C-alpha cells in the first residue's frame, strides 16, 4: 500500500523534486554547482523576504538552530527565550549547551507567546544585558503559530538580536525578515518548501553579521563566516548534500511559479479544512483559537483513547501517516501536517481514514462528517476566489 505522508516534515514531494535528486553527481566546486548555489540563493532571498544572503548548510534544521547560537553569542551571554513547545525547548537546550544563560518567558503549550511580556521584560533591561531573544514562529509540536510581527515590534529598539526558528512556517506564511527587523531566520528543506531533508537555511541581518565577528562560542562546521566566504566564491566550505540542493532548487522553482501569496493561501486553506474536519469528527484542536498554525494541526481524540494505537491503525490499516505527540505530549495527540505536495484529495482521504480509525477504536463518529466539513471549507474558498476578468 502506498502511504499518504501527512506528518509535519519530511513532507510528500512532487515528482519533479524527486527526479531532481536523482540527477548525475557533479563536481561540487565546478561551474555547474556554482550556478545551482547562485540560483537557489536568489530564490531563497525571496522566500525569506530579505536582501541578505541566505546560506544553506548540510544539516537538518537543527543545524541552523545551532548555527544561530554559536555564531552570534559568547559563553555567559544572557538570552531571553519564548518557547511554546518542544522546538522552542530545543533551541534553549542548544544555547545552554554552549554556555549561554537563558531566561525563559513560559507559554502554556497550545498557546502563543504574549508580545507584551516580551516588551515589558526588555523595557526593564535598561543596561542592555540581554543579547538575544529566541522565538519559534510556528511550533510544530503543538500546532501553534506565534504572531511574529507583533513579537518583532515588541523587541522595539532594544539591542538584543531577534532569532527566529521559522522552519515550519517559511514558505507557508509571511516571514518578512527585513521589514520586521529579524536578525537570524532559520529554515529547512523538508518543510513547507517541499524539498527533501538534508539542507538547513539561515540568513543573518547586518547587525547579526557584526555580532558573528565578536562571538566567542566554539564553532567550526557551522561557522557562518566560512559559509559566507565560500558562497562569495560560488562554493560551499564543505561537500554539500548536492542531490538535496538540486531538489531544493526545483522545489523553490515550483514555489516561485506558484507565487508567495498563493502558497500562503493554500496552506491556510488546507489547515482550516483539517481543523474543520477534525472538529466535525469530535476531536479537540489542541491549539487555542487565534493561535492556529497554517502548517500543522494537533488534535486530541475524546475519552482516554490511546493515540499511539490510533496513529498505528491509521498507518497500518489505511496507509495514512500522521505524527504523534512529542516530549510531554507523547501519546496524547495526533499531528496532521499540510505542507508539501499534497492536495485537497489527500486531505479528504486522511479525514476519511481518521473517521474509520476512530470508529475502529470504538468511538462513535457521525458518518462522513469530517470530509463534509473539509469540503465545505474548500467550497467556500473556491467561491471567494476573485474571478479573472475575461476580454
Ligand X SMILES: *Cc1c(COP(=O)(O)O)cnc(C)c1O
111: nearest Cα among 255, 272, 298: 298
Closest distance of CB 93 from ligand X, Å: 12
84 or 280: CB nearest ligand X = 84
* Cα first-last separation, the chain: 47
Stretch that binds ligand X, among 133-141, 227-235, 302-310, 370-378 (CB under 6 A): 133-141
Segment contacting ligand X by CB under 6 A, of 54-62, 201-209, 217-225, 274-282: 54-62
Residues in CB range of 166: below 8 A, 6 or more apart? 137, 138, 148, 175, 185, 186, 187
Number of residues that bind ligand X (CB under 6 A): 13
The answer to whether 9 contacts ligand X (rule: CB under 6 A) is yes
Question: Residue written as cell 543579547?
Answer: 131
Of 140 and 371, CB closest to ligand X: 140
Residue nearest to ligand X (CB): 61
* CB nearer ligand X, residue 241 or residue 282: 241
Give 199 or 365: the residue with its C-beta nearer to ligand X: 199
User: In this chain, which of 37, 48, 73, 87 binds ligand X, going by CB under 6 A?
Assistant: 87
Interface with ligand X includes 61 (CB under 6 A)?
A: yes
Between 190 and 205, CB nearer to ligand X: 190
Rank residues 89 and 249 by Cβ distance to ligand X and give the closer one.
89
Which of 50, 53, 60, 205 is the binder for ligand X (CB under 6 A)?
60
Could you give the CA distance from residue 367 to residue 39 in angstroms, rounded to a whole number? 49
Least Cβ distance, residue 343 to ligand X (angstroms): 22
Asked if 336 contacts 322 with a C-beta cutoff of 8 angstroms, the reply is: yes
Nearer to ligand X, 69 or 313 (CB): 69
Place of cell 507559554: 107
Our finding on whether 109 is near ligand X (CB under 6 A) is: no
CA atoms of 302 and 278, how far apart (whole Å): 11
Cβ nearer to ligand X, comparing 91 with 131: 91
Distance, CA of 119 to CA of 196 (rounded, Å): 38
If one asks whether residue 74 binds ligand X (CB under 6 A), the answer comes out as: no
Q: How far is the CB of 132 from ligand X (least distance, A)?
A: 17
At closest approach, how far in Å is the CB of 11 from ligand X? 10
Stretch that binds ligand X, among 40-48, 59-67, 100-108, 206-214 (CB under 6 A): 59-67
Q: Residue 210: which H helix or E strand, with range?
A: helix 206-214
370-389 residues in contact with ligand X (CB under 6 A) are none
Binding-site string for ligand X from residue 135 to residue 174, where x marks contact by CB under 6 A and - marks none: -x-x-x------------------------x-xx------
The answer to whether 231 contacts ligand X (rule: CB under 6 A) is: no
Q: How far apart (Å, rounded) are the C-alpha atoms in residues 307 and 335?
A: 10
324/370 with CB nearer ligand X: 324
The answer to whether the beta carbons of residues 188 and 60 sit under 8 Å apart is: yes
Q: Is 294 in the site for ligand X (CB under 6 A)?
A: no
* 3-state SS string for 342-370: CCHHHHHHHHHHHHHHHHHCCCCCCCCHH
**CA 339 to CA 292: how far, in whole Å?**
15
CB contact burial 98-136 (16+ within 10 A = b; e otherwise)? bebebeebebebbbbbbbeebbebbeeeeeeebbbbbbb
Give the C-alpha separation, 100 to 337, whole Å.
33
Q: Is 188 in the site for ligand X (CB under 6 A)?
A: yes
Positions in the binding site for ligand X (CB under 6 A): 9, 60-62, 87, 136, 138, 140, 165, 167-168, 188, 191
Amino acid at each position: 500500500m502506498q502511504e499518504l505522508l501527512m506528518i509535519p516534515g519530511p513532507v510528500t514531494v512532487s515528482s519533479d523534486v524527486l527526479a531532481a535528486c536523482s540527477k548525475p553527481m557533479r563536481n561540487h566546486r565546478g561551474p555547474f554547482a556554482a550556478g545551482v548555489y547562485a540560483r537557489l540563493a536568489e530564490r531563497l532571498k525571496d522566500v525569506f523576504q530579505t536582501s541578505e544572503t541566505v546560506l544553506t548548510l548540510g544539516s537538518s534544521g537543527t543545524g541552523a538552530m545551532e548555527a544561530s547560537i554559536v555564531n552570534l553569542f559568547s559563553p555567559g551571554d544572557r538570552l531571553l527565550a519564548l518557547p511554546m513547545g518542544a522546538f522552542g525547548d530545543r533551541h534553549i537546550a542548544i544555547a545552554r549547551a554552549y554556555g549561554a544563560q537563558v531566561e525563559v518567558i513560559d507559554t502554556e503549550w497550545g498557546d502563543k507567546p504574549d508580545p507584551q511580556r516580551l516588551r515589558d521584560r526588555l523595557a526593564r533591561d535598561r543596561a542592555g544585558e540581554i543579547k538575544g531573544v529566541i522565538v519559534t514562529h510556528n511550533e510544530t509540536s503543538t500546532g501553534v503559530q506565534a504572531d511574529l510581527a507583533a513579537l518583532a515590534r515588541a523587541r522595539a529598539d532594544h539591542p538584543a538580536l531577534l532569532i527566529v526558528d521559522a522552519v515550519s512556517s517559511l514558505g507557508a506564511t509571511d516571514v518578512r525578515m527585513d521589514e520586521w527587523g529579524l536578525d537570524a531566520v532559520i529554515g529547512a528543506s523538508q518543510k513547507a518548501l517541499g524539498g527533501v531533508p538534508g539542507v538547513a537555511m539561515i540568513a543573518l541581518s547586518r547587525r547579526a553579521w557584526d555580532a558573528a565577528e565578536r562571538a566567542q562560542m566554539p564553532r567550526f562546521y557551522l561557522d557562518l563566516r566560512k559559509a559566507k566566504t565560500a558562497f562569495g566564491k560560488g562554493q560551499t566550505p564543505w561537500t554539500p548534500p548536492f542531490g538535496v540542493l538540486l531538489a531544493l532548487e526545483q522545489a523553490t522553482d515550483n514555489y516561485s511559479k506558484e507565487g508567495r501569496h498563493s502558497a500562503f493561501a493554500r496552506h491556510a486553506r488546507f489547515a482550516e479544512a483539517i481543523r474543520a474536519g477534525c472538529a466535525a469528527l469530535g476531536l479537540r484542536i489542541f491549539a487555542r483559537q487565534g493561535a492556529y498554525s497554517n502548517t500543522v494541526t494537533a488534535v486530541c481524540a475524546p475519552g482516554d483513547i490511546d493515540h499511539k494505537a490510533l496513529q498505528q491503525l491509521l498507518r497500518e490499516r489505511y496507509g495514512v501517516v500522521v505524527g504523534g505527540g512529542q516530549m510531554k505530549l507523547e501519546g496524547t495527540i495526533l499531528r496532521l501536517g499540510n505542507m508539501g505536495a499534497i492536495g485537497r484529495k489527500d486531505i479528504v482521504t486522511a479525514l476519511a481514514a481518521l473517521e474509520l480509525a476512530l470508529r475502529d477504536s470504538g468511538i462513535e463518529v457521525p458518518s462522513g462528517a469530517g470530509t463534509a466539513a473539509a469540503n465545505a471549507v474548500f467550497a467556500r474558498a473556491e467561491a471567494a476566489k476573485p474571478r479573472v476578468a475575461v476580454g
